[in-house]
Structure 1
Amino acid sequence: MGERVLARFAGPNGEIAVVEEASGARLYREGGVNQSCVLPGGEAGVAYVRLMASLLEGSASVLLLGCGGGALAGMLHRRGSCVTVVDVNPLSFELARTFFWMPAGIECIAADMSGFLRRDARTFAGIGIDVGGPDFSYEAALAPATVGGVRRALQPRGRIAVNISCETPDDAMPGRIAQRFAEARLEVWMYMESGAPGSEANAVILASNRRETAAELAAVAEAGWWLARLGG
């Protein structure tokens, strides 16, 4: 048995489809690109989301910029965090609750990332950033002014975890974005997903407002990631 389409919607970056695989896992597909994979019950089906959850776990309050299938929000909510999710597309929240098991107790705000950061004065113990899509620009979305807004929203001893989808494992984009967080006076580390040359991979940047140790950070990653300190 193959996959089946549960729903289709018009989205800002092309058609949004919710697809269920034979295993029961569900995909959030936008413009023909898989943005999320969520296992039955709401756990993440992709390694980088599980890594971000491990890095932000234990934060009393978490701000997530980007909703996708809502797996990261749901995982942190179930582990005891008070979670606020911001996404420019309000349809994402409806899809996450209806098809991807995101709990109803999560605060959802429809706004663009930079606008929310300018208007909302709250601070958070953890911040996760997972935004993207067809023709997406990380350099534009995470401009220095926006990074500054994220930094101001971070509490003392807080952590920021940022996912960067890379065209190849040697993509220079994660390093450029990491440098912006280092310039915001944060300790910066990067996890890079191992992959064959020329293949797509994910990088997860950790920008921390406290001192971290390599041993503790390495222990939270699954097999297939390497870790490096970049600055701060």
Structure 2
Amino acid sequence: MQSRSDGSRRYFDGTILYTHVDSEGRNLLDYVSAMERALEGARSVLVLGTAGGSLASQLSRRGVRVTTVDNVAASFDLARRWFGMPAEVQCVHADARAFLNETPDRWDAIAVDVFDGVDVPRAMLGPEVGALLAKALNPGGRLVWNVADDAWSLPVFRVVKVLRAAGLAPKRRAVLDETAGNTLVIATVKG
């Protein structure tokens, strides 16, 4: 949806707002900005979950090498045509967990922003997922996982449990975006 008054664009899935950018394609959502700040310093980032591509776009515009993975192939076209995702962003049509299982590549950071509605997909909460994420990170790499709930909710607890099972020490960071709250779960792989 594009605003007639200011040219900003929003991507909704039902009533859920996934992307909001200004007329130049710059992100306007607090949780995306918080994810970008948490990923600062990374030269390569794997983004699991694309939606309108605002996180991938912001990182790419800063010179970060970005690979984004989504199980909905149309999300890449949507992100490029409507939200200005740069051509330099590598797009991979795949299930996030299957991709992690198969990729030999490593990144300085991983952003997990995958949802089934507002829920973390069950497949991403399996006991091996934390180890797969850690394996895909370079030594000293950082993981930032967005959860659409408050910091002490059951979904956040489950994400923390998955990461602790992989030997990571996750920390919670609450982000309030207008009236909705998200939590970033952030962990670093020991170098």
Instruction: Give 2:80's match in structure 1, choosing from 92, 97, 104.
Output: 97
Contact 1:190 1:205 in 2 (8 A): yes
Regions of 4+ moved over 4 Å? none
Please report how far the alpha carbon of residue 20 of structure 1 lies from its aligned counterpart in structure 2 after TM superposition. Answer: 1.1
Determine if the alignment matches structure 1 residue 46 to structure 2 residue 29: yes
Distance 1:39 1:210, change over 3 A: farther
Pair 97,119 (structure 1): closer, same or farther in 2 beyond 3 Å: same
Corresponding residue for 1:58? 41
Name 1:129's counterpart in structure 2.
112
Q: Which structure is richer in relative contact order (CA contacts within 8 A, separation 6 or more)?
A: 2
Q: CA deviation at 1:32?
A: 3.4
**Residues 79-228 of structure 1 aligned to structure 2 (within 5 Å):** 79-134=62-117, 136-166=119-149, 170-194=152-176, 200-210=180-190
C-alpha change, 1:135 and 1:40, in structure 2 (3 Å) is: closer
Partner Cα separation in structure 1 for residue 148 and residue 119 of structure 2 = 10
Alignment counterpart, residue 57 of structure 2, candidates 60, 74, 81: 74
Which structure has more strand as a fraction of its residues?
A: 1
Q: Residues 140 and 119 of structure 1: is their aligned pair in 2 closer, same or farther, counting only changes over 3 Å?
A: closer
Q: Deviations over 1:128-168 (max 9, x none)?
A: 011114274444423222222111101101100010001x5
Per the TM alignment, residue 42 of structure 1 is displaced from its structure 2 partner at its CA by 2.4
Per the TM alignment, residue 182 of structure 1 is displaced from its structure 2 partner at its CA by: 1.9
Q: Does the 8 A contact of 1:147 with 1:181 survive in 2? A: yes
Aligned to 2:170, the other structure's residue is in SS state strand
For the pair shown, the structure with the greater C-alpha radius of gyration is 1
State the TM-score, normalizing by the size of structure 2: 0.90
Given the superposition, is the C-alpha separation of residues 154 and 189 from structure 1 closer, same or farther in structure 2, using an over 3 Å criterion?
same
Range with greater deviation from structure 2 (29-38 or 96-105): 29-38
Paired residues of 2:151 and 2:173 also in contact (CA < 8 A): no
* Structure 2 CA distance for partners of 1:144 and 1:41, relative to 1, 3 Å: farther
More divergent stretch after superposition (106-115 vs 32-41): 32-41
Q: Aligned AA for 2:96?
A: M
Runs of 5+ consecutive residues of structure 1 not aligned to the other structure: 1-18, 212-232
Residue pair 1:190, 1:206 contacting (<8 A) in 2 also: yes
Identity %: 32
* Deviation at residue 180 of structure 1 after TM alignment: 1.7
If the length of structure 1 is used for normalisation, what is the TM-score? 0.75
- Aligned-pair CA distance for 1:189: 1.1
Q: Distance in 1 between matches of 2:172 and 2:85?
A: 28
